[in-house]
Homo-oligomer: A and B are copies of this chain.
């Protein structure tokens, strides 16, 4: 399993009139950890994007266990439990200190700039293989 974590601090911009973080913003937080995970794999998303390989989201699921509030320091963890073939499945947890407040997942495909679904390019497959061979 490949795992990476990021710390974020909840912005006032991310709260809503319930006084908690708006549920839609968690997907941007998942993204923060996913970017860190790709960095760790030696596949920075910026470089993929610049090379014309996009990773659109096909599916998301989120379970909200407890709320997050303004200024909370959260730990977002992204993990891949299996070596991706065509699609990439990533699982997430969000912790506030020791408390698990959210779980979720995203599913991604590889796409080129013209919007066509493609297989992961060879250098990406090799990185995945190397990471899961450890």
Binding site for B on A (CB under 8 A): 9, 11-20, 22-28, 31-32, 35, 44-46, 49, 54, 56-64, 67, 69-71, 115
Contacts and interface: CB of A to CB of B under 8 A. Distances in A.
Q: What secondary structure prevails in chain A residues at the interface with B?
A: mixed
Nearest to A30: B24
B64 A61 contact: no
A77 to B, nearest CB: 17
A31 B17 contact: no
Contact of A11 (B20, B32, B64): B32
A116 to B, nearest CB: 12
Contacts of A54: 18
Contacts of A28: 11, 13-14, 24
